[in-house]
C-alpha cells in the first residue's frame, strides 16, 4: 500500500491504505496497536487520514486546520515543517512531529479523566476506545468532539490492523499454524500435545500464544474451556458466520465444538487443524494429514471466536489433564 494525499475526502480503500502507513510508522517507533487504533480514530474524524487536506477543503487557509491531525492554525505545523526540511504534505514529517514534537511543543496536556503522559499513551494496552478519548482530550481538544464517533472509528481501525497488519496477532497466529502444518516433524498427539506434536485445542492455543497472547489455562486448556480462556484475552463470540457453509469466516477465527474439536479459519473457505494421528502414534506427521490445511466442512460447530483485542481478568488455571476426542470423517 502507499499514501493517498490531496486536498479531498478519501474513499474507504484509500483511508485503509493510509492507515496501514500510519501503522507501519508508529509501530516501528514502539507504539502499541491499541494506541495506533486510538489515534487513527481521531485522524479519520479530523482529516480522513489524509496528510494533504485543509479544513473545509479551503486550501492555503493557514488560520484553519491542516494535515493528519488538523493542526490549528495550520502554521503550528507548516512553519515547523518548512524549517525542518519537510514539504507540508509529507506524512513522514507529520508523523515525526506527532511522535517527537508533541511533548516539547506543549501540545499534550494530561487531563484528570485521562491522566496519561504521552509516553504512556504510546505504549498503552488500554482499549482503542479509551485511547481515542485520551488523544481527543489531551491532544486534539477539538471544538467539535464527536467523541462517540472517534471511539467507534478507533475500534474499527484497531480491528482492521489486527486483521491486516503483517505482524499483527492474527497474522502471526495464522503464519505459525500454517508453518506448523506444513512441517511434518509436527504430528497429532493427545498424550504429548504441547509440542512438537499437538491435538486440536493445543494447536490453536499455541498458535495464538506464539503470536503473543498470554492465554491462560497452561497445559490444561481444552475445547471445553477454550471459550473462557480465549474471551479473557480479547476474543469474542461472533454471529456473522454460517456454521454450515463457513460463509463469513475470517482469517484467524476459531471454529469450536466444545465437546470434540476446534480449528482455525484461514479465510477464502479454508481452515487449518490438528485432526487425527491416522493410526500413527509415533512423533511427527506420517501421512501429511495429521495437522493440515483443508477446505471448510460442515461440522457441528457450536460457535466462532474472533480476536478483537483487549482482554479482561484471566480465569484461574485448571488442573493440567484434559483430553480431546475427535476423529473427522
Catalytic residue among 14, 44, 46, 171: 46
Catalytic residue list contains 317? no
d(CA 264, CA 177): 8
> Taking a C-beta distance cutoff of 8 angstroms, is the pair 54, 7 a contact?
yes
> Taking a C-beta distance cutoff of 8 angstroms, is the pair 200, 301 a contact?
no
| Long-range contact pairs involving 322-325 (C-beta distance under 8 Å, separation at least 24) | 322/201, 322/220, 322/221, 322/222, 322/224, 322/225, 323/190, 323/199, 323/222, 324/190, 324/199, 324/200, 324/201, 324/222, 324/223, 324/260, 324/261, 325/190, 325/260
d(CA 254, CA 43): 32
CA nearest neighbour of 242 among 307, 200, 308, 303:
303
Sequence-ordered list of residues with C-beta below 8 angstroms from that of 148, at least 6 positions apart, any chain? none
Sequence-ordered list of residues with C-beta below 8 angstroms from that of 161, at least 6 positions apart, any chain? 19, 20, 23, 33, 36, 37, 168
**Pairing label, strands 235-238, 291-295:** unpaired
Burial degree of 50 (CB within 10 A; 0-12, 13-18, 19+): buried
> Taking a C-beta distance cutoff of 8 angstroms, is the pair 12, 4 a contact?
no
Sequence-ordered list of residues with C-beta below 8 angstroms from that of 10, at least 6 positions apart, any chain? 4, 18, 48, 49, 50
Residues with catalytic function: 46
Amino acid at each position: 500500500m502507499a499514501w493517498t494525499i490531496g486536498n479531498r475526502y478519501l474513499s474507504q480503500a484509500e483511508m485503509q491504505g493510509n492507515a496501514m502507513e500510519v501503522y507501519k510508522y508508529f509501530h516501528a517507533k514502539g507504539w502499541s496497536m491499541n494506541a495506533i487504533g486510538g489515534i487513527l480514530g481521531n485522524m479519520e474524524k479530523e482529516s480522513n487520514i489524509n496528510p494533504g487536506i485543509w479544513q473545509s477543503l479551503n486550501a492555503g487557509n493557514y488560520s484553519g486546520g491542516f494535515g493528519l491531525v488538523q493542526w490549528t492554525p495550520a502554521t503550528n505545523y507548516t512553519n515547523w515543517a518548512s524549517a525542518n526540511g519537510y514539504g507540508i504534505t509529507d506524512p513522514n514529517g507529520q508523523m515525526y512531529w506527532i511522535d517527537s514534537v508533541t511533548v516539547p511543543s506543549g501540545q499534550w496536556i494530561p487531563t484528570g479523566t485521562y491522566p496519561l503522559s504521552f509516553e504512556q499513551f504510546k505504549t498503552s494496552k488500554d482499549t482503542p476506545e479509551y485511547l481515542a478519548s485520551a488523544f481527543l482530550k489531551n491532544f486534539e481538544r477539538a471544538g467539535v468532539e464527536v467523541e462517540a464517533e472517534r471511539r467507534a472509528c478507533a475500534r474499527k481501525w484497531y480491528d482492521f490492523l489486527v486483521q491486516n497488519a503483517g505482524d499483527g496477532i492474527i497474522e502471526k497466529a495464522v503464519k505459525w499454524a500454517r508453518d506448523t502444518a506444513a512441517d511434518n516433524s509436527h504430528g497429532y498427539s493427545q498424550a504429548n500435545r504441547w509440542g512438537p506434536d499437538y491435538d486440536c485445542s493445543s494447536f490453536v492455543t499455541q498458535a495464538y500464544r506464539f503470536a503473543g497472547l498470554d492465554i491462560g489455562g497452561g497445559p490444561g486448556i481444552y475445547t471445553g474451556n477454550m471459550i473462557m480462556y480465549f474471551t479473557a484475552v480479547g476474543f469474542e463470540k461472533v454471529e456473522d458466520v454460517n456454521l454450515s457453509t463457513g460463509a463469513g469466516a475470517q482469517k484467524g477465527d476459531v471454529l469450536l465444538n466444545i465437546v470434540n474439536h476446534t480449528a482455525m479459519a484461514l479465510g477464502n473457505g479454508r481452515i487449518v487443524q490438528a485432526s487425527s494421528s491416522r493410526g500413527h502414534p509415533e512423533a511427527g506427521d506420517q501421512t501429511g494429514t495429521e495437522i493440515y490445511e483443508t477446505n471448510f466442512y460442515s461440522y457441528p460447530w457450536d460457535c466462532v471466536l474472533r480476536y478483537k483485542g483487549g482482554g479482561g481478568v484471566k480465569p484461574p488455571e485448571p488442573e493440567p489433564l484434559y483430553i480431546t476426542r475427535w476423529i473427522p470423517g
